[in-house]
Structure formats: structure tokens, C-alpha cells
Amino acid sequence: MTTATTAPATTPPTTTASATTPSATTPSVSTPPASTPTARTAGGRRRGHLHDLESEAVHILREVAGQFDRPVVLFSGGKDSVVVLHLARKAFHPAPVPFVLLHVDTGHNFPEVLEFRDRAVQRAGARLIVAAVQDWIDDGRLAERPDGTRNPLQTVPLVDTIVEQRFDAVIGGARRDEEKARAKERIFSLRDAFGGWDPRRQRPELWDLYNGRHAPGEHVRVFPLSNWTELDVWSYIRAEGIELPEIYYAHERPVFRRDGMWLTPGDWGGPRPGETVERRSVRYRTVGDMSCTGAVESAAADVAAVIEEIRATRITERGATRADDRLTEAAMEDRKREGYF
């Protein structure tokens, strides 16, 4: 069982999944997001399709606030969840974000990302709930996998927390361009009482109409970035001046080669005998567990260089760097049916 931690009065509190929600210090409503709502660039020109994507996402987030009683945002500190939080701040400014944040912490996350996560939550004046996979292992509800990875173990803590906290809408940063199972999922995705996704139960989404109706015990996963691409996300990050964890940019770090990917050594079980650790200039296109997220060799040290690198690539970020998606052809869909993100 997890324990509750309350931050100082000026810091948004962090609670665990099983804790009673404490009161959080309300941020000053006069403090806008890092970038105030605008549809124009510094030169006065409209941003074109980025403005359309932003408007769609803001509309979706406001629909969630209007249709659901207890929505939550999945927030890991990765680039997509950072963009979702930024959009939420713009959608409801000058009021505070009306959503709680949730992170399922496997214990194998990159330290740089966790540190950034906490700073971002404090800056946004939000409240974060952390569901630690280790707590589920300690009390016997989960068991460690032979391969050492904990990424697939996130599903049980996620669904348990949704049920325990009675969340009826769960907002995530998944995009259709990432992976084929995500490509066919709706923006408002109905999940059953066990968090499972059934593609046959998907509802039509006509124009900008979203149906959030669900039976007691069910909930809806919501993906406001569904129509964005990796290039769109980075272009928006540049346009809005959004800060990200440093590992998204080129840096030197010790890595070893496994299954065509550069992985970071760690307590999760790498490297194995015969796998040589060496220092390389790398960056991460996506941020998951250290055990299943590969780095790419790169010299892109700033946003502009990353954008140029993405323009030249022909492999999706998950296809290039996520070992958990390579288990089977239907690995992601199988996990979604079990309740995964």
C-alpha cells in the first residue's frame, strides 16, 4: 500500500493512488501559461494547421470538463503529456487546470524525467497522484517479469487507481501516427469496467461531436493529440517555447546495444553478459522505461535540429525505439484490450 506525501503549502501536493485527496494550494489565476493563448507567431502570421490542431485539442479538453465529473490527465513528464498539460492550461486560463494528474511509476523511469515531472507539476499548480508499481509488487498483486521489464505491469495499477479514485475520463497523449493500434482508436475511447478496449464497441465521431456516455463502472479514455504527428508536436513545442526533459536532446551517456537499440544500463537487468557498454551521443524520441526504451544516435541538441532530424526519418518513434512493441505484431492492441494506455 502506498503512503501519502503532502508538499509544502506553496507546492502542489503529490498523493499516492490509495490516499485521500488533500487540499492543494490554488495557484494565482493571474499567472498565465508559459505562452499566452494566441493563434499567431511572433511575426503576426497565423500558424496554419498547428492552430487548427491546437483549437481541436482545446475543444476536446473543454468537452471533457463539461461531460465528466472526475477526469484525470496521465502525466509522465514525457513530451506528449507535457504538451497536453500546456494545452489544458491554455484551455482554461485564467482559471487553474480542472484536472488531477496521474503517473503510473514503474520504478524504472529515467531520473531526469521524474525530476522534470515534479517541476512541471509545481509550475502548473496541479495535483499529482503517483501509483507506484513497486507497491503492487510488495503486496503481492503483481510479480516481477523474468525479463526484468515493468512496462507491461503498469496496467493493473492504472486500472486499480481509476476504480479507486472513481475517475470517469482518463486523458492521455497517445497519437495515431505512433502505432497501428493507436491509429484506429477513437478520440473518445470507451473502456469497460476492467479498463479493456474493444475495437468493435467504438463509436462514430462526426465533425466535432464526442459521446462521453458510459455505463456505471466504465470510463472513457480521451486522446486530444490523436490527429497530431511527431513533427506537429515538436513544431508546436518550438512555437510555444515549451520546456522538455533534457534527454530529448543530444547528450553523451553510457549505452549498450540490444536488438538493434541503444539501451541505458540500470538496475532492471542490463547489460547482459556479452553486451558492451560504451559512451555515445544519443537522444530519446520517446520516454518510457529504461528497460524497453531505446535511444537514437543524434547530434540534435536543440528543438530546431530535432525537427530537421524528424523530417528526414522514415520510422515512427515507437517503431524505432520501443522494445515492448516488438513482442508480437499485435503487442499494443493486446495490451490495450487488457487496459493499457
Predicted confidence (pLDDT) per residue in 180-200, tens digit? 777 788 999 999 988 888 888
The highest-confidence range among 19-28, 118-127, 170-179, 194-203, by mean pLDDT, is: 118-127
The answer to whether the beta carbons of residues 184 and 199 sit under 8 Å apart is: yes
Q: Rounded to whole angstroms, how far apart are CA atoms 146 and 77?
A: 27
Q: Is the pLDDT of residue 19 over 60?
A: no
Q: Which residues pair with 221 in a beta bridge?
A: 170, 189
| Residue from 324, 330, 320, 339 nearest 268 by CA | 324
Q: Comparing 84 with 17, which gets the higher pLDDT?
A: 84
The answer to whether the beta carbons of residues 11 and 158 sit under 8 Å apart is: no
Cell numbers describing residue 10: 506553496
Q: Rounded to whole angstroms, how far apart are CA atoms 150 and 268?
A: 9
Q: Is the pLDDT of residue 326 over 90?
A: no
Unique residue bearing C-alpha cell 522505461: 289
- Positive or negative: CA dihedral 243, 244, 248, 250: positive
Q: Rounded to whole angstroms, how far apart are CA atoms 203 and 139?
A: 38
The predicted pLDDT at position 80 comes to 97
Phi-psi region of 195 (alpha: psi -120 to 50; beta: other; left: phi over 0): left
Cell numbers describing residue 17: 493512488
| Residue from 274, 273, 286, 280 nearest 323 by CA | 286
The predicted pLDDT at position 330 comes to 55
The answer to whether the beta carbons of residues 291 and 150 sit under 8 Å apart is: yes
Q: Which residues pair with 288 in a beta bridge?
A: none
The predicted pLDDT at position 28 comes to 37
Unique residue bearing C-alpha cell 506525501: 5
Specify the range with the lowest mean pLDDT, choosing from 52-61, 89-98, 230-239, 310-319. Answer: 310-319
Would you list the domain boundaries of the chain? 50-232, 245-326
Unique residue bearing C-alpha cell 513533427: 231
The answer to whether the beta carbons of residues 2 and 17 sit under 8 Å apart is: yes
The predicted pLDDT at position 297 comes to 92
Q: Is the pLDDT of residue 7 over 50?
A: no
Q: Rounded to whole angstroms, how far apart are CA atoms 25 and 240?
A: 26
Predicted confidence (pLDDT) per residue in 143-157, tens digit? 998 877 888 899 999
For the domain covering 50-232, report its CATH number: 3.40.50.620
